[in-house]
Amino acid sequence: MSIVSNTLKRIKPSPTIAVTSKARELRAAGKDVIGLGAGEPDFDTPDNIKEAAIEAINKGDTKYTAVDGTPALKKAVQAKFKRENNLSYDLNQITVGTGGKQVLYNAFMATINKGDEVIIPAPYWVSYPDIILLAGGKPKIVKCEEKDNFKLTPSKLKKAISKKTKWIILNSPSNPTGSSYTKNEIKNLAEVLKKYKKIYILSDDIYEHITYDNFEFSTIAEIDELKGRTLTMNGVSKSYSMTGWRIGYAAGPVEIIKAISKIQSQSTSNPSSISQAAAVEALNGTQDFISERANSFKERRDFVVESLNNIKGISCLKPEGAFYVFPSCKNLLNKKTKLKSDNDFVQKLLERANVAVVQGSAFGLPGYFRISYATSMENLKKAMERIKNFCEEIN
């Protein structure tokens, strides 16, 4: 009899981490692998943020803090929501966790009962369904089509709602597609949700500041009728290049925030005191570099999208945000190429072209693959050439 719990057997390891680890192993073995699987900016953490961490160490801010965040960081989060999203929260409506993933995990562990359904638009971030399964809930996957820019429509949302629906997850800009909901699109989804008073909304805004072409970011908590049942999650990992610092935060109903703190008190306890001090500076300090880095990402996005659309058998939409594209490889899955699935495509691309990407089926939508362009233009140029040559060889 296995020591591993039945609950754990229901979930799988993160596919994105698996791809990144495989690329790392191949490089260590001497292979010239270009990894386009990692979801983290290649820029360094800004100096003012690093200096704030060093100052905290020198001041001796190395002890336990309040379980769900220091007062200074909660105030910085409070100011951020007011300044950037026109959302007002009391400090007891704010929680800080060890990364955005922990905030999500805590929220669902604290609120889901066995059999509760959570609506997840696909393609989705790989961890959403497995977190729901761990919490004892049931992921209700709603496939969103390419013709709709991979976004959930009001009609599909309404059809997915049942008596068991407890949460819906909205992620904009999206991982893995980069697609982003306009203010009007969010308003239209809100009109459906207003009619279902017992459904809570998890808004994953982690890519808020990485948008292009004058896209105007909007979040669903800005709609007054839904703010009281929306948990808005964000963090410093993507916008501030602080993935390793592990700081995420959220604001929402007091009851949920208290429940999250209770879970956290019996798991990790407080996030790193040093990371919290750095996050205070990130949120309160200069924001100038954010737009500069977004411009660099835009240049890469434009290059990658154009390059992919010039490859026979590949097609790719131009996303509004994040640092991913989600191209289709459906036209390459046939008898001639001997590729049966996106998994085959990704595996052969790694084996024969030394380019690591993530299969679309990992995100709930087969026939596609995800590329992270959060790497140098030099790497991207090499990778696009290799992908082109690979596709020409198999065609």
Residues 121, 141: Cα–Cα separation, whole Å: 6
What does the pLDDT look like over 117-147, one tens digit per residue? 999 999 999 999 999 999 999 999 999 999 9
With H, G, I as helix, E, B as strand and everything else as coil, classify residue 164: coil
CA 62 to chain centroid, in Å, comes to: 30
Longest CA span, the chain: 65
Statement to judge: residues 249 and 354 lie in one domain = no
CATH number at residue 198: 3.40.640.10
Mean pLDDT of 279-292: 97
* Local confidence band at 340 (pLDDT 50, 70, 90 cut-offs): very high
Q: Is 49 inside any structural domain?
A: no
CB 67 within 8 A of CB 269: yes
Q: Reply yes or no on whether the pLDDT at 342 is more than 90.
A: yes
Q: Is 57 inside any structural domain?
A: no
Q: Looking at residue 346, what is its pLDDT?
A: 94
For 20, other C-beta atoms within 10 Å of its C-beta total 20
**What backbone phi and psi angles, to 5 degrees, belong to 342?**
-65, -30
User: What are the tokens at 236?
Assistant: 């410093």
Residues 268, 164: Cα–Cα separation, whole Å: 30
Q: Is 329 inside any structural domain?
A: yes
Q: Is 97 inside any structural domain?
A: yes
CB 330 within 8 A of CB 145: no
Q: Looking at residue 29, what is its pLDDT?
A: 85
Statement to judge: residues 14 and 73 lie in one domain = no
Q: Looking at residue 285, what is its pLDDT?
A: 98
With H, G, I as helix, E, B as strand and everything else as coil, classify residue 16: helix
Q: Of 262, 284, 306, which one is at a domain's C-terminal end?
A: 284
Statement to judge: residues 159 and 219 lie in one domain = yes
Q: Is 53 inside any structural domain?
A: no
CB 256 within 8 A of CB 107: yes
CA atoms within 13 A on the CB side of 360: 23
Mean pLDDT of 323-350: 96
Q: Is 277 inside any structural domain?
A: yes
Q: Is 50 inside any structural domain?
A: no
Runs of H (alpha helix) within the chain: 6-9, 15-28, 47-59, 71-85, 100-111, 127-134, 154-160, 183-193, 224-227, 254-265, 273-284, 288-309, 342-353, 377-394
CB 178 within 8 A of CB 325: yes
CATH number at residue 299: 3.90.1150.10
Among 251, 192, 200, CA closest to 229:
200
CB within 8 Å of 222: residues ≥ 6 apart: 85, 86, 87
Statement to judge: residues 196 and 224 lie in one domain = yes
Q: Reply yes or no on whether the pLDDT at 20 is more than 90.
A: no
29 or 209: whose pLDDT is higher? 209
CB 98 within 8 A of CB 268: yes
Among 234, 238, 283, 247, CA closest to 65:
247
CA 90 to chain centroid, in Å, comes to: 26
Q: Of 257, 284, 311, which one is at a domain's C-terminal end?
A: 284
Domain that holds residue 326: 6-44+289-394
pTM: 0.96
Residue type, 134: L
CB 342 within 8 A of CB 360: yes
Residues 244, 266: Cα–Cα separation, whole Å: 23
Q: Reply yes or no on whether the pLDDT at 16 is more than 90.
A: no
Q: Reply yes or no on whether the pLDDT at 21 is more than 90.
A: no
End-to-end, the C-alpha distance of the chain in Å comes to 48
Q: Among all chains, which residue has been given the structure tokens 């105030």?
A: 75
What does the pLDDT look like over 365-390, one tens digit per residue? 999 999 999 999 999 999 999 999 99
Structural domains of the chain, count: 2
Between the alpha carbon of residue 62 and those of residues 55, 272, 274, 277, 328, the distances in Å are 11, 8, 7, 10, 48
Statement to judge: residues 230 and 295 lie in one domain = no
Statement to judge: residues 259 and 334 lie in one domain = no
Statement to judge: residues 152 and 221 lie in one domain = yes
Q: In what order do the strands lie in the sheet with 94-97?
A: 94-97, 248-251, 230-235, 200-204, 165-171, 117-122, 138-143
Q: Of 246, 265, 284, which one is at a domain's C-terminal end?
A: 284
Q: Reply yes or no on whether the pLDDT at 395 is more than 90.
A: no
Q: Is 170 inside any structural domain?
A: yes
Angle between helices 100-111 and 254-265 (to 10 degrees): 100
CB 261 within 8 A of CB 32: no
Statement to judge: residues 295 and 243 lie in one domain = no
Statement to judge: residues 233 and 106 lie in one domain = yes
Statement to judge: residues 268 and 307 lie in one domain = no
Residues 364, 112: Cα–Cα separation, whole Å: 22
Mean pLDDT of 48-77: 98
Statement to judge: residues 96 and 117 lie in one domain = yes
Statement to judge: residues 255 and 296 lie in one domain = no
Sign of CA dihedral 274, 277, 283, 284: negative
